[in-house]
Structure 1
């Protein structure tokens, strides 16, 4: 008998091969199950619960599970909440731009101009040295630097740059921006430096041999290849800045209220519905920002 491609030939005396078990046939789903359960329990369910609570009826001294849109109407009709949202977005854009403007040249120097891997590692470790101390200490350390009698005013007056102390450096929106940029710039440096260090030197050498100028090499080769790092760094900075409340409270004297500060205040006042509304709005903003950044580059393909 001649066996075709679709025939199964069994040797006499041998049994048919065993059918794979259910676990063997679906092992990839089994491996995914713990992660999916974790995301459902600790991410999806809390978000759904927060959305549900945002529709509860909030009174001055109590909250009831009766569903209503009153808290949502109050949020978007209140100048305080809307201004906090707009201020959060404005500070996020400023901090994101400044961290990129400071972090990219730093990462470019580490990733392209420093060729020794050991020196690169040392410089990257030096960037994270501030993280060896408490976050709150790093924030509060700016107070003696930015105050009227602080180090910055003393130095500027000593060199004759100013004739009297600058009072706008502390307890203003500027102080919040300065603190956030210093704290989060390292999250922009790391991913960009990692991507720059991966660029093949032969690409740059070939471009030079073809007569490309340094600016052309940067514009056509270096920057496009570093975009995944820029995207990752921008996501890190965006998520942390949009959810900020400690830096603004410490460096602005509670004069600059971000959306995170609104949430903390409402939770402290036991106004869970208002806090849930602000939390949902903040989550939607974060999701929109991340989705927009991910459209810049296909991270799964680039990384």
Structure 2
């Protein structure tokens, strides 16, 4: 009588081998969020964190008339705030403190004006223009000035605001003034005017995006409840547009705080700003001193942004 021996084949059983469906499912499995964010994180590190770290490092270096000296020192920060512990003989603040206050005044003034203009224009586009095609057309018209250089747009004000410019000639022809007004150009007024002209669009876009996400049924409910147009605006539209207002405010404040071209062109090289001070320091090859000034400016801007985010929690609003 013969018996059949059990099979001892080394091949894996069909039950243990992965099926074609399993392999296909693994191939279709989405990449994890960490791997998806890795390229963006690499770009952030290479083009932001590393340069920022280098600026902070250079701010602690020493320098002379000929070279940078890679030795740790706090002399740059001490020189930056030299004499700021007391008022000078004329009762004024030190150069750095007065320059930061001047820049902050420009930033706050620009922020207030662009907020009013940006909110009004965004409100008109979002709630008074019914056609999407007309909305798109008007929005494109708002972006037309951005198709040219900022310097060209600033220079275009000079023939209007100069002593022999169109504004002075018109006012004299209307007998409103007897002689040309010098304060129209190369002054704080012209700098603020240029800032508003250049950067209002940075306030319009985020506010407009926030307003377009507002449910129109809420506005109808407010009207049905007897709310006036101003009450609806203040109690419904403004609170629901806070995220756009915050984002636009961050754009305006950060851009103006670091700007030096507008102050140089429209101020006639006579008005100081933090950005202009850093540009002058780099032109004189005082890179550690300019780096220390840049670090202080960055900390100041971060404090402003931190204060804004305490007023509006943007993570909850978006």
Does the 8 Å contact 2:207/2:244 carry over to 1? yes
Q: In 2, Cα distance between the equivalents of 1:112 and 1:159?
A: 39
* Cα deviation 1:266-286 (Å, max 9, x = unaligned): 111111111101111111122
Corresponding residue number in structure 1 for 2:15 = 14
Corresponding residue number in structure 1 for 2:280 = 265
SS in structure 1 of the partner of residue 70 of structure 2: strand
Q: In 2, Cα distance between the equivalents of 1:30 and 1:84?
A: 45
Q: In 2, Cα distance between the equivalents of 1:60 and 1:172?
A: 34
C-alpha displacement at 1:25, in angstroms? 9.9
* Cα deviation 1:199-249 (Å, max 9, x = unaligned): 222111111111111121111101111111111111111121111000100
* Cα deviation 1:112-153 (Å, max 9, x = unaligned): 111111111111111111111111101111111111111111
Corresponding residue number in structure 2 for 1:147 = 162
* Cα deviation 1:21-57 (Å, max 9, x = unaligned): 9xx7983222222222221121111111111111111
Q: In 2, Cα distance between the equivalents of 1:34 and 1:114?
A: 40
Does the 8 Å contact 1:187/1:233 carry over to 2? yes
C-alpha displacement at 1:100, in angstroms? 0.8
Does the 8 Å contact 2:206/2:244 carry over to 1? yes
Corresponding residue number in structure 1 for 2:171 = 156
| Count of residues in Structure 1 that have an aligned counterpart in Structure 2 | 290
SS in structure 1 of the partner of residue 279 of structure 2: helix
Does the 8 Å contact 1:75/1:82 carry over to 2? no
Does the 8 Å contact 2:242/2:317 carry over to 1? no
Residues 25 and 200 (structure 1 numbering): CA distance in 2 closer, same or farther, change over 3 Å?
closer
Greater mean deviation of Cα atoms: 263-272 or 73-82: 73-82
Match of 1:37 among 34, 42, 66: 42
Corresponding residue number in structure 2 for 1:228 = 243
Corresponding residue number in structure 1 for 2:148 = 133
Does the 8 Å contact 2:61/2:288 carry over to 1? yes
Q: In 2, Cα distance between the equivalents of 1:158 and 1:221?
A: 47
TM value normalised by structure 1: 0.89
Q: In 2, Cα distance between the equivalents of 1:209 and 1:28?
A: 45
Q: Does 1:94 align with 2:99?
A: no
Q: In 2, Cα distance between the equivalents of 1:282 and 1:260?
A: 9
Q: In 2, Cα distance between the equivalents of 1:26 and 1:218?
A: 44
Does the 8 Å contact 1:231/1:296 carry over to 2? no
Rg larger in 1 or in 2?
Answer: 2
Corresponding residue number in structure 2 for 1:9 = none
Greater mean deviation of Cα atoms: 206-215 or 80-89: 80-89
